[in-house]
């Protein structure tokens, strides 16, 4: 009985010792190693290539003589005592200034345009009636009476032209109508009586009016030429005077400036 108890105690001790050993092995397991720094940090750049070596000097020909050595550098000459110091070197000229920019010039002044000068019109009348006194700036002029001359020429010319056409287109005994003033009276005939008496009376009356009209025109025309009137004309007015001339078988006109 005692032997069996001893065996149980030993078996329990072995089991406890195994459990303790397994637990200590579990707690004694080392921690995992840390991540390598090579994986975390970036790789360094590749090293730069070494500088190219200077090319070797060409081999010297043994037949050529060796170059002479450089001359020695002369030491600076000291200024003698009591001598004036050298002036400083002249300063470098400043850079050329940029040319000035051209300013726009204003347009030339031409002044106010003025209208061309015109001579002031003289408000004095160009012609005045002469009453015995000649004012300054006027002079006397004798003129024909233009009204009578124009009226007489128009009256005589119109009637004589119609009468002349009748004389040229009528019978042979009507040629005497071409004589001015007298012609219409020479062709008047006495009425033979009967039904033609009325027509003869009308024709004779027209001939009388024709002759009297021509005579009145000639009288007015001659009176206008013969009678003169004196007027005052301004000195700066250029006047011309028509002069009519009537002669046997001719009529003329002359202009006097």
Residue 154 has pLDDT above 90, yes or no: yes
Tell if the pTM clears 0.75, that is, is over it: no
CA-nearest of 29, 244, 216, 234 to 144 is 244
Rg over alpha carbons for the chain, rounded to the nearest Å, is 77
**Across 231-251, average pLDDT:** 67
Among the ranges given (92-96, 97-101, 117-121, 156-160), the one the predictor scored with the smallest mean pLDDT: 92-96
Residue 205 has pLDDT above 80, yes or no: yes
- Whether 117 maps to a domain, the answer reads no
**Across 154-171, average pLDDT:** 87
Higher pLDDT, 118 or 213: 213
Residue 28 has pLDDT above 80, yes or no: no
- Whether 106 maps to a domain, the answer reads no
**Across 140-152, average pLDDT:** 87
Task: Tell me what pLDDT residue 215 has.
Answer: 94
- Name the phi and psi angles at 246, rounded to 5: -120, 125
Domain that holds residue 250: 127-256
Please list the alpha-helical segments (H only) found in 84-196.
146-169, 183-186
- Whether 80 maps to a domain, the answer reads no
pLDDT per position as a tens digit, 64-102: 666 777 777 766 666 566 666 667 766 656 666 666 777
Residue 201 has pLDDT above 70, yes or no: yes
Task: Tell me what pLDDT residue 37 has.
Answer: 43
Task: Tell me what pLDDT residue 36 has.
Answer: 47
Count of structural domains, the chain: 1
Residues 149, 242: Cα–Cα separation, whole Å? 10
Higher pLDDT, 116 or 177: 177
- Whether 113 maps to a domain, the answer reads no
Task: Tell me what pLDDT residue 236 has.
Answer: 79
- Whether 71 maps to a domain, the answer reads no
Higher pLDDT, 177 or 38: 177
228-234: strand order across its sheet:
127-129, 228-234, 138-144
49: left (phi over 0), alpha (psi -120 to 50) or beta: beta
CB 153 within 8 A of CB 221: yes
Task: Tell me what pLDDT residue 129 has.
Answer: 84
Residues 30, 69: Cα–Cα separation, whole Å? 78
Distances (CA, A) of 117 to 88, 112, 120, 140: 76, 14, 9, 32
184-187-191-192 Cα dihedral, nearest 10 degrees: -170
- Whether 199 maps to a domain, the answer reads yes
Looking at every residue in the chain, the average pLDDT score rounds to 72
Task: Tell me what pLDDT residue 257 has.
Answer: 47
Q: Specify the pairing of strand 228-234 against strand 127-129.
A: antiparallel
- Whether 232 maps to a domain, the answer reads yes
Residues 62, 76: Cα–Cα separation, whole Å? 38
- Whether 193 maps to a domain, the answer reads yes
What DSSP element (H or E) covers 142? strand 138-144
pLDDT per position as a tens digit, 29-56: 545 555 444 444 556 666 666 555 555 5
CB 187 within 8 A of CB 174: yes
């Amino acid at each position: 009985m005692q032997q069996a108890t001893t065996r149980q105690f030993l078996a329990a001790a072995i089991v406890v010792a195994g459990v303790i050993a397994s637990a200590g092995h579990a707690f004694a397991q080392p921690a995992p190693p840390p991540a390598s720094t090579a994986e975390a940090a970036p790789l360094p750049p590749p090293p730069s290539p070494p500088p190219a070596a200077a090319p070797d000097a060409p081999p010297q020909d043994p037949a050529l003589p060796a170059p002479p050595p450089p001359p020695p550098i002369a030491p600076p000459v000291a200024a003698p005592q009591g001598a004036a110091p050298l002036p400083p070197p002249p300063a470098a000229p400043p850079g050329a200034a940029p040319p000035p920019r051209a300013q726009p010039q204003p347009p030339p002044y031409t002044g106010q345009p003025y209208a061309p000068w015109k001579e002031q019109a003289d408000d004095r009348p160009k012609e005045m009636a002469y009453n015995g006194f000649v004012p300054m700036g006027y002079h006397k002029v004798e003129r024909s009476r233009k009204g009578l001359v124009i009226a007489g020429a128009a009256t005589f010319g119109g009637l004589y032209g119609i009468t002349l056409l009748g004389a040229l287109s009528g019978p042979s005994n009507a040629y005497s109508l071409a004589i001015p003033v007298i012609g219409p009276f020479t062709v008047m005939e006495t009425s033979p009586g009967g039904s033609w008496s009325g027509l003869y009376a009308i024709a004779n009356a027209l001939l009388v009016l024709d002759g009297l009209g021509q005579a009145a025109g000639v009288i007015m025309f001659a009176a206008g030429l013969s009678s003169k009137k004196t007027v005052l004309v301004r000195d700066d007015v250029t006047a011309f005077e028509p002069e009519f001339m009537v002669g046997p078988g001719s009529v003329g006109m002359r202009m006097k400036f």
